């Protein structure tokens, strides 16, 4: 009876507790805040997608998105002041970190900065160097633009700097000569206004900064590591979704966040962001410490940061290695304890042998001293021999480089003389236009009435839009067709000036406008003015193309001759496609009668020594060209076979006879006439490849020869 009574009392107590204690769910969303660095727009599409698609909710986060009306100002202080704060930043985080703010970059969204410098296309500013003394608006914290100007020899003190009002009308109305902004947004505003502009990116000068990133504080990572990791994963998932569903997210932003910009502008921004984010080629959020070091170097050149600041703790690692320090400490303590016990025991058991042991140790020490002296002498001898061999090999590589340059000197001179001649000729034509024709052209245009001005603009637009290059026979046929079609017009005489001008200006492509143009009494003047302007424009295009070709030749020569110190070791990461393209550029003049077939696979990076590999490619390509008498087909193939990159160089020459296949890698063996080769090329190639952990072989082939080089693949 007492047992039943006690059981009933316990049931009453438990029931009371269940009814009076409120039930608290163990699951609740954690509140965090994300500070955007500007107004709501497609620039932050990934964060909207992560919120609206429930990606933040899925990982237990309640995220509040706050837009900024004053840019990046103040965001860093808010993020580091309390936990639960996140922000959208840019490259300025490196400076903030050095200033003492414990910010940590969680991931990079824009792999390339959208920052550009806009000019009016028709203004007196036609290049970056024309900015000196001009009015310029620069966005705060857009240091890549300042670095770009400095690299081109322009200091901010050389400019009339005005406060940036973020109003494109300032450039459109000519209030400023240059205007910094984003290629993803301002370009739309200019296009919408019908404003013709030129945009210069710092990447033209090799300044490749990151764009937007998102960050938090060290305190947040220390106290809430799981929350940080969940926020990062949900954010990157949102960005992946946003870039794959741009129309959906653009409508979402317009309908729910801001109607400041139309959907058309949001979609334009998303399309422009795609090549900057590279969502297909690059993993979302990826950041390279080397790129941050590049940014540090640029800031150092600007005097804003010291060189080589530490990135430790600045770049977030979502999968940090496990800390085994406690295990090491335990093992060390245990081992020490065992050692002490063993030492005590050993001393107690071997005390009687101590004197004898001391004598043995003394004798052995003397023997070791003598042996050590002998080893030191031998080691120094080996070091000297190795240095001599290294110097000899370096001299041999340098000699090979000079020999290659001697062989290619005439061809490279031709490659440079041709574009330089075109530049000089076109420059003289431009000078003649500016000195002798420009004033006449301007005077003629000014005296046109409204209708003639309209005719002039029509012909000029057609002429500049479609440049006309026509051979003599085609021109004669066209003249006959036009003469037959417009025989009722006196001005369209087969051999008259009007006929010639109609063809030169490209007006013949607008047959519906020919009669309208020729109705004017000043039709010939209109056509001649357009012809003069078109000729000057054509000279400009020739100079541009020729300059690019000359630059390509010089760049190839520089890449071949100049190598960085880090690429001189046998374990450097080498981009095979880039190096082989450089060698082919040097041999371009010798390839005029050779068909080059390039078959490069997806993996093109190996481990090796850049200078030595370049000598291997030169030797194999030169042998192939010699075997083909510089006429035939040369195929270069890159293949990935497990942990190897296989480079095959195949020629359509006379091939290698079976009787000498076993001798071709022997020193001083050659099939070339006396004076054309020493027979060391393939022997040296084989030794260098073996030093780099690879192999070289001649593969069987019915036509021509195929040399294959196997190199260790670079794993990332």
Using one digit for the tens of pLDDT, what is the confidence trace for 132-158?
A: 888 999 987 778 888 888 888 888 888
Residue 235 burial class via C-beta count within 10 angstroms: exposed 0-12, middle 13-18, buried 19 and up: buried
Q: Is the backbone of residue 153 left (phi > 0), alpha (psi -120 to 50) or beta? A: left
CA nearest to 55, candidates 221, 233, 214, 228: 233
What are 198's strand-pairing partners?
119
Give the phi and the psi of residue 100 in degrees, each rounded to 5.
Answer: 110, -5
Highest mean pLDDT among 302-316, 473-487, 573-587, 662-676: 302-316
At 609 the pLDDT is 87
Residue 700 burial class via C-beta count within 10 angstroms: exposed 0-12, middle 13-18, buried 19 and up: exposed
* Secondary structure of 146-199 in HEC code, one letter for each residue: HHHHHHCCCCHHHCEEECCCCCCHHHHCCCCCEEEEECCCHHHHHHHCCCCEEE
Tens digits of residue pLDDT in 638-651: 988 888 998 999 99
Highest mean pLDDT among 238-242, 487-491, 540-544: 238-242
CA nearest to 182, candidates 209, 215, 154: 209
CA distance 200 to 117: 5
CB-based burial, 531-554: b 16+ in 10 Å, e otherwise: bbbbbbbbbeebbeebeebbeebe
Query: Between 479 and 468, where is the model more confident?
Result: 479
Is the pLDDT at 481 greater than 70, yes or no?
yes
CA distance 288 to 108: 9
At 409 the pLDDT is 57
Q: Give the count of alpha carbons within 13 A of 71, CB side only.
A: 11
* Token pair listed for 125: 């500013």
The whole-number average pLDDT for the span 609-614 is 85
Mean pLDDT (the chain) is 82
Is the pLDDT at 112 greater than 90, yes or no?
yes
Tens digits of residue pLDDT in 209-226: 999 999 999 999 999 999
DSSP per position, 649-713: EEE-SS---GGGTTTTTSTT---SPTTS--S-HHHHHHHHHHHTT-EEEEEP-SSSEEEEEEEEB
Query: Please, which residues have CB within 8 angstroms of residue 550's CB and are 6 or more apart in sequence?
Result: 416, 419, 420, 423
Tens digits of residue pLDDT in 149-187: 888 888 888 898 888 888 999 999 889 989 998 989 989
At 20 the pLDDT is 40
Pairing of strands 115-120, 178-182: antiparallel
- With vertex at residue 435, the alpha carbon angle to CA 434 and CA 440, rounded to the nearest 5 degrees, is 80
Tens digits of residue pLDDT in 438-460: 887 887 888 888 888 898 888 88
| Residues in the chain, total | 716
CA distance 595 to 321: 52
Output the CA torsion 77→82→84→86 (10° steps).
10
Is the pLDDT at 347 greater than 80, yes or no?
no
Question: In this structure, are residues 37 and 68 in contact, taking their beta carbons and an 8 Å threshold?
Answer: yes
pLDDT band at 709 (very low <50, low <70, confident <90, very high): very high
CA distance 716 to 714: 7
CA nearest to 103, candidates 298, 374, 386, 315: 315
* Token pair listed for 289: 């410490």
At 126 the pLDDT is 73
Give the three-class secondary structure for 635: strand
The whole-number average pLDDT for the span 622-632 is 87
Question: In this structure, are residues 253 and 49 in contact, taking their beta carbons and an 8 Å threshold?
Answer: no
Q: Is the backbone of residue 54 left (phi > 0), alpha (psi -120 to 50) or beta? A: left
At 19 the pLDDT is 40
Give the three-class secondary structure for 310: coil
At 312 the pLDDT is 92
At 104 the pLDDT is 97
pLDDT band at 558 (very low <50, low <70, confident <90, very high): low
At 2 the pLDDT is 46
Is the pLDDT at 11 greater than 80, yes or no?
no
At 15 the pLDDT is 47
CB-based burial, 426-445: b 16+ in 10 Å, e otherwise: beebbeebeeebeeebeebb
Q: What percent of the chain has pLDDT over 70?
A: 82
At 24 the pLDDT is 35
CA distance 716 to 583: 26
Is the pLDDT at 265 greater than 50, yes or no?
yes
pTM of the full structure? 0.46
Highest mean pLDDT among 134-148, 478-492, 697-711: 697-711
pLDDT band at 14 (very low <50, low <70, confident <90, very high): very low
Tens digits of residue pLDDT in 564-589: 554 557 788 888 888 888 888 877 77
Question: In this structure, are residues 271 and 188 in contact, taking their beta carbons and an 8 Å threshold?
Answer: no
The whole-number average pLDDT for the span 344-357 is 74
CA distance 54 to 60: 10
How distant, in Å, are the alpha carbons of 72, 255, 263, 625, 644 from that of 41?
A: 15, 12, 10, 57, 47
Placement of tokens 């290629």 in the chain: 183
At 31 the pLDDT is 96
The separation between the first and the last C-alpha atoms of the chain, rounded to the nearest angstrom, is: 77
């Amino acid at each position: 009876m007492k047992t039943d009574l006690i059981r009933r009392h316990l049931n009453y107590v438990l029931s009371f507790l269940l009814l009076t204690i409120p039930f608290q769910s163990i699951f609740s969303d954690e509140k965090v805040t994300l500070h955007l660095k500007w107004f709501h727009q497609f620039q932050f599409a990934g964060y909207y997608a992560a919120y609206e698609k429930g990606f933040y909710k899925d990982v237990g986060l309640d995220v509040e998105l706050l837009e900024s009306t004053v840019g990046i100002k103040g965001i860093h202080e808010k993020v580091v002041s309390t936990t639960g704060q996140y922000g959208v930043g840019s490259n300025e985080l490196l400076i903030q970190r050095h200033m003492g703010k414990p910010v940590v970059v969680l991931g990079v969204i824009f792999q390339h900065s959208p920052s550009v410098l806009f000019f009016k296309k028709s203004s007196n500013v036609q290049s970056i160097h024309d900015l000196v003394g001009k009015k310029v608006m620069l966005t705060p914290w857009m240091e890549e633009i300042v670095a770009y100007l400095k690299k081109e020899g322009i200091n901010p003190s050389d400019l009339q700097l005005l406060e940036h009002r973020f109003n494109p009308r300032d450039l459109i109305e000519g209030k400023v000569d240059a205007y910094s902004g984003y290629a993803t947004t301002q370009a739309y505003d200019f296009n919408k206004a019908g404003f013709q502009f030129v945009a210069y990116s710092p990447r033209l000068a090799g300044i490749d900064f990151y764009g937007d990133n998102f960050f938090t504080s060290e305190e947040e990572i220390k106290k809430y590591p799981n929350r940080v990791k969940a926020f990062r994963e949900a954010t990157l998932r949102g960005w992946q979704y946003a870039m794959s569903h741009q129309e959906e997210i653009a409508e979402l932003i317009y309908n729910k966040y801001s109607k400041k910009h139309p959907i058309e502008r949001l979609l334009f921004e998303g399309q422009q962001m795609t090549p900057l984010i590279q969502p297909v080629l690059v993993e979302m959020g990826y950041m390279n410490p080397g790129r941050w070091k590049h940014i540090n170097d640029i800031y150092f050149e600007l005097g804003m940061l010291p060189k080589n600041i530490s990135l430790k703790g600045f770049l977030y690692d979502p999968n940090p290695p496990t800390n085994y320090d406690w295990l090491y400490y335990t093992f060390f303590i245990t081992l020490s304890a065992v050692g002490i016990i063993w030492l005590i025991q050993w001393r107690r058991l071997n005390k009687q042998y101590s004197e004898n042991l001391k004598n043995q140790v003394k004798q052995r020490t003397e023997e070791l001293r003598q042996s050590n002296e002998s080893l030191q002498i031998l080691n120094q001898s080996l070091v000297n021999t190795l240095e001599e061999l290294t110097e000899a090999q370096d001299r041999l590589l340098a000699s090979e480089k000079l020999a290659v340059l001697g062989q290619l000197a005439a061809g490279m001179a031709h490659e440079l003389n041709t574009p330089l001649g075109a530049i000089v000729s076109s420059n003289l034509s431009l000078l003649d236009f500016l000195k002798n024709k420009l004033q006449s052209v301007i005077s003629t245009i000014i005296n046109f009435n409204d209708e003639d001005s309209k005719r002039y603009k029509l012909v000029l637009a057609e002429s500049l839009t479609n440049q006309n290059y026509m051979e003599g026979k085609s021109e004669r046929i066209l003249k006959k067709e036009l003469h037959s079609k417009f025989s009722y017009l006196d001005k369209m005489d087969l051999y008259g000036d009007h006929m010639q001008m109609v063809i030169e200006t490209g007006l013949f492509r607008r047959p519906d406008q020919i009669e309208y143009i020729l109705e004017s009494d000043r039709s010939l003047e209109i056509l001649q003015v357009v012809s003069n302007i078109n000729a000057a424009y054509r000279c400009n295009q020739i100079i541009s193309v020729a300059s690019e070709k000359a630059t390509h030749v010089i760049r190839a020569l520089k890449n071949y001759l100049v190598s960085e110190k880090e690429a001189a070791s046998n374990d450097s990461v080498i981009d095979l496609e880039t190096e082989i393209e450089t060698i082919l550029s040097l041999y371009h003049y010798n390839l005029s009668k050779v068909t080059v077939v390039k078959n490069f696979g997806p993996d093109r990076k190996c481990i090796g020594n850049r200078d030595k590999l370049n000598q291997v490619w030169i030797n194999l390509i030169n042998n192939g060209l010699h075997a083909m008498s510089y006429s035939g087909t040369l195929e270069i193939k890159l293949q990935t076979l497990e942990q190897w990159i296989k480079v095959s160089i195949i020629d359509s020459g006379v091939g290698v006879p079976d009787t000498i296949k076993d001798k071709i890698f022997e020193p001083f063996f050659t099939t070339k006439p006396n004076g054309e080769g020493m027979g060391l090329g393939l022997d040296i190639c084989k030794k260098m490849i073996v030093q780099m952990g690879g192999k070289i072989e001649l593969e069987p082939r019915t036509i021509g020869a195929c040399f294959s080089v196997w190199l260790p693949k670079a794993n990332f």
